[in-house]
Structure 1
Amino acid sequence: MEHINIFIKAVFIENMIFAYFLGMCSYLAISKTVKSAVGLGLAVTFVLSISVPVCYLLEKYVLKAGALEWLSTDYKTVDISFLSFIMFIATIASIVQLVEMIVEKYAPALYSSLGIFLPLIAVNCSILGGALFMQEREYASLGEATVFAFGSGVGWFLAIVALSAIREKLRYSNVPGPLRGLGITFILTGLMAIAFMSFMGISL
């Protein structure tokens, strides 16, 4: 039950986009078409689902105070948590590089449509945010950290796909001139964030 609670919270209540506004750059830039939004959303979900559990293992067995005790009792007082940022960023960058190579090889059309934003997943703040939230919330197990990561990715995926679907329909709408482009997109994002806030009333 705890895993279900973590997943629902990550998708709806603590959505990376609508609750914390993390990853807004690629969210706004790639949400012009559903096809590219789906591709980037899946890539972000994959990177989150892999990088956060890896960062959890690094935190538990390498970085935090006493984590190195499994090597020797001489290291039970060692605390290298100050390296968390560097280690997390290096982990995320490595996984993003792997995703980039896979997409380029098996989906070159999607690779072209995503352009510079695919390698920029490495600096997507929703990915690093997921790792830092995991560290702050001190999840009890690798399973909980993985469920949180996957739920955060699914929430980000739903947000960008929903916005891209609306933006495709807006092409046939008579949007006032000053609001065309990012103007109406920011308004839509705000309205969607308000809608997602309704889930905050759910007690889990």
Structure 2
Amino acid sequence: MENLLNIFVRSVFIDNMIFAYFLGMCSYLAVSKTVKTSFGLGIAVVFVLLITVPVNYLLDNFVLKAGALSWLLGESAANIDLSFLSFIMFIAVIAAIVQLVEMVVEKFAPALYNQLGIFLPLIAVNCAIMGASLFMQERGYANIGEATAFGLGSGIGWLLAIVGIAAIREKLKYSNIPAPLRGIGITFIVTGLMAISFMSFLGINL
């Protein structure tokens, strides 16, 4: 349980997809103009990560790795290595889940669907989503519980980042910002300052 909590907290604050690795910056910068829209997209990203990371964990450990098919083929699977298919299989899982999310949002929240526009289906090519699955594979989590904790934490970390910058950008509209820095310039500066503030969590040892 402590290990799961450690993985979750690290993925939210220390290994934050935005502030530690700058993954998913495209939709982070483009959609973060209002808190409401940012929160909607953030929830969608949390859901996609919560589903895709554990599903890709199972896919990697029981289908793709060398000898992973031993549960199905027995000893004859020892020489079977499908790890070269990791990228395309991970992308297929992500695309399927994103398509599901898009249909649900369009059905139950059409206003949010219209506000998000093209950025909702673009979750499928959001590098934060693919990055989480590749980090999961690289770090070799011991079980699906750890992979799920990492996926959930990564999603919540991304949600905190985009909602945080959206709240600040709403206030910046009423601030006296020098003309050359207005718009994307001040957004990059604030993002850098937020990344520095998140670095303070590096001292946490659970």
TM-score (norm 2): 0.98
**1:29 paired to 2:35:** no
Q: Which residue of structure 2 lines up, in the alignment, with residue 128 of structure 1?
A: 130
The equivalences for 1:92-131 within 5 A come to 92-131=94-133
State how far apart, in whole Å, the 2-side matches of 1:182 and 1:2 are: 39
The equivalences for 1:38-187 within 5 A come to 38-72=39-73, 73-187=75-189
TM-score (norm 1): 0.99
State how far apart, in whole Å, the 2-side matches of 1:76 and 1:92 are: 28
Runs of 4+ in structure 1 over 2 Å off: none
1:35 shift after superposition? 0.4
Q: Which residue of structure 1 lines up, in the alignment, with residue 14 of structure 2?
A: 13
Gap runs ≥5 in structure 1: none
State how far apart, in whole Å, the 2-side matches of 1:38 and 1:71 are: 42
State how far apart, in whole Å, the 2-side matches of 1:193 and 1:87 are: 32
1:20 shift after superposition? 0.3
Number of matched pairs: 204
State how far apart, in whole Å, the 1-side matches of 2:192 and 2:89 are: 34
Q: Which residue of structure 2 lines up, in the alignment, with residue 199 of structure 1?
A: 201
Letter in 2 for 1:199: F
State how far apart, in whole Å, the 1-side matches of 2:53 and 2:79 are: 25
Q: Deviations over 1:140-169 (max 9, x none)?
A: 000000000000000000000000000001
State how far apart, in whole Å, the 2-side matches of 1:202 and 1:53 are: 26
Letter in 1 for 2:160: L
Q: Deviations over 1:4-54 (max 9, x none)?
A: 000000000000000000000000000000000000000000000000000
Letter in 1 for 2:130: L
Letter in 1 for 2:201: F
State how far apart, in whole Å, the 1-side matches of 2:55 and 2:202 are: 29
1:203 shift after superposition? 2.1
Q: Deviations over 1:110-148 (max 9, x none)?
A: 000001000000000000000000000000000000000
Does the residue aligned with 2:180 lie in a helix, a strand or coil? helix
Letter in 2 for 1:68: L
State how far apart, in whole Å, the 1-side matches of 2:103 and 2:3 are: 35
